[in-house]
């Protein structure tokens, strides 16, 4: 064996994807299966192990050795790799996936939250490559966040850092599944934008079915649709102003399906940032779209298997 690769996994509520990734972030092989949470933990683990074995065999056929397994998974992941909560993957709650894969494959394994993995993917191979410290905001069905500080993924003492989606932007706002009220996710996610539209229009039944349809209406000049996005942008700007005043970041990287609508969110978001953030913190702040696409999760989780996080980034920057 003359070369090494890492298996990167991205476990979501709908799909589980795995890739064989080189040290420079090149994806050599892809595999995927439907997560199917209802089938239970045993079935899921069997499929996951099978996927990893296929990727290891693919590496062997290329005369490569697998150095480790990195994994990003939906849910709150403790710093030990145990999954604490995960609404979309209930069979994994309380399960130590990191220890299980480590014992099964006799390889180094790291399991982190999927938004953290995506942030690290952008840090190493995407829009975050030139940023020293930044937050990735994933705008999709929910709002996820991953924090990179001075070129290191910051997960905090418990592993639950970076959750910008659950910053309160309305003290007595909409109830959130996390147990709090008025979280950013309830206003700026795809679901939140739909709620904004229905609240502004005064109709709970009629109208567009999702944020994609609302974006189409907004681009056609529909005032209610424009206002629904303006509402989301305003709350995003409000939350981000607090974050940049706390951390003085170099940038914010927007990922996820709703980030395709950044043009609709940006005016109100920037206005709030200008009004609320300290001028010194806002002046140098870059607002960027993510560039790794769907590969961010597997690239980031694979990148975490470097000898050190910053070491992995340096090798990526030189590729
Ligand atoms: Zn919440």
**Nearest alpha carbon to residue 245 among 278, 279, 287:** 278
At residue 124, φ and ψ (nearest 5 deg) are -85, -40
CA–CA distance, 289 with 228 (Å, rounded to integer): 21
**Ligand 1 centre and the CA of 180: distance in Å?**
5
Domain containing 102: what range? 3-120+294-317
pLDDT for the residue 308: 44
Residues 166 and 258 in one domain: yes
Residues 86 and 134 both lie in one domain: no
Q: What are phi and psi of 147, to 5 degrees?
A: -115, 125
CA–CA separation, 32 and 125 (whole Å)? 22
**Same-domain pairing of 34 and 109:** yes
pLDDT in tens, 51-65: 999 999 999 999 999
**pLDDT for the residue 318:** 31
How much distance in Å is there from the Cα of 235 to the middle of ligand 1? 14
pLDDT in tens, 104-151: 999 999 999 999 999 999 999 999 999 999 999 999 988 999 999 999
**Ligand 1 centroid, distance to 242 Cα (angstroms):** 17
The reply to whether 189 and 109 lie within a common domain is no
- pLDDT digits 0-9 by tens, 16-61: 999 999 989 999 999 999 999 999 999 999 999 999 999 999 999 9
- List CB-based neighbours of ion ligand 1 within 5 Å: 166, 176, 178, 180, 183
Average pLDDT score, the chain: 92
Tell me the CA–centroid distance for residue 257 and ligand 1, in Å. Answer: 20
Task: Give kind and range of the element (H or E) at residue 95.
Answer: none
Q: Is the pTM of this model over 0.85?
A: yes
The CATH number of the domain holding residue 159 is 3.30.420.40
140 C-beta neighbours (distance < 10 Å), count: 19
- Rounded to the nearest angstrom, the distance between the alpha carbon of 163 and the centre of ligand 1 is 9
Ligand 1 center from residue 188 Cα (angstroms):
12
Q: Are residues 87 and 135 in the same domain?
A: no
Domains held by the chain: number:
2
Same domain, 269 and 194: yes
Same domain, 148 and 96: no
Query: Is 280 found in the same domain as 133?
Result: yes
Pair 285, 136 in one domain: yes
Tell me: do 218 and 308 sit in the same domain: no
Ligand 1 center from residue 95 Cα (angstroms): 23
Regarding whether 301 and 248 lie in a shared domain, the answer is: no
Distance from the CA of 161 to the center of ligand 1, in angstroms? 14
Ligand 1 centroid – CA 177 distance (Å): 6
CB of 300 within 8 A of CB of 121? yes
**284, 302: one domain:** no
CA of 296 to the centre of ligand 1 (A): 24
Ligand 1 centroid to Cα of residue 294, in Å, is: 25
């Amino acid at each position: 064996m003359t070369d090494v690769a890492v298996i990167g996994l991205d476990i979501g509520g709908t799909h589980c994807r795995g890739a064989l990734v080189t040290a420079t972030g090149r994806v050599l092989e892809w595999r995927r299966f439907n997560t199917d949470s209802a089938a239970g933990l045993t079935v899921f683990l069997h499929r996951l192990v099978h996927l990893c074995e296929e990727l290891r065999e693919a590496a062997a056929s290329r005369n490569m050795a697998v150095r480790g397994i990195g994994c990003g998974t939906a849910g709150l992941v403790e710093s030990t790799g145990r999954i604490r909560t995960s609404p979309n993957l209930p069979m994994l709650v309380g399960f130590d996936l990191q220890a299980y894969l480590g014992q099964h494959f006799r390889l180094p394994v790291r399991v982190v939250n999927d938004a953290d993995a995506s942030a690290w993917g952008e840090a190493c191979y995407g829009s975050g490559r030139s940023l020293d410290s930044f937050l990735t905001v994933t705008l999709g069905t929910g709002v996820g966040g991953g924090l990179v500080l001075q070129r290191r993924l910051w997960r905090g003492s418990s592993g639950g850092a970076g959750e910008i989606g659950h910053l309160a932007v309305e003290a007595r706002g909409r109830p959130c599944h996390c147990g709090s009220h008025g979280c950013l996710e309830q206003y700026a996610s795809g679901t939140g934008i739909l709620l904004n539209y229905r609240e502004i229009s005064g109709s709970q039944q009629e109208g567009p079915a999702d944020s994609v349809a609302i974006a189409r209406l907004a681009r056609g000049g529909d005032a209610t649709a424009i206002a629904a996005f303006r509402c989301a942008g305003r709350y995003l700007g409000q939350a981000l102003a607090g974050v940049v005043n706390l951390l003085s970041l170099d940038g914010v990287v927007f990922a996820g399906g709703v980030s395709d609508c950044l043009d609709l969110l940006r005016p109100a978001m920037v206005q709030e940032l200008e009004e609320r953030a300290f001028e010194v913190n806002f002046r140098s702040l870059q607002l960027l779209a993510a560039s790794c696409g769907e590969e961010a999760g597997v690239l980031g989780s694979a990148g975490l298997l470097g000898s050190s996080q910053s070491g992995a980034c340096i090798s990526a920057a030189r590729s």
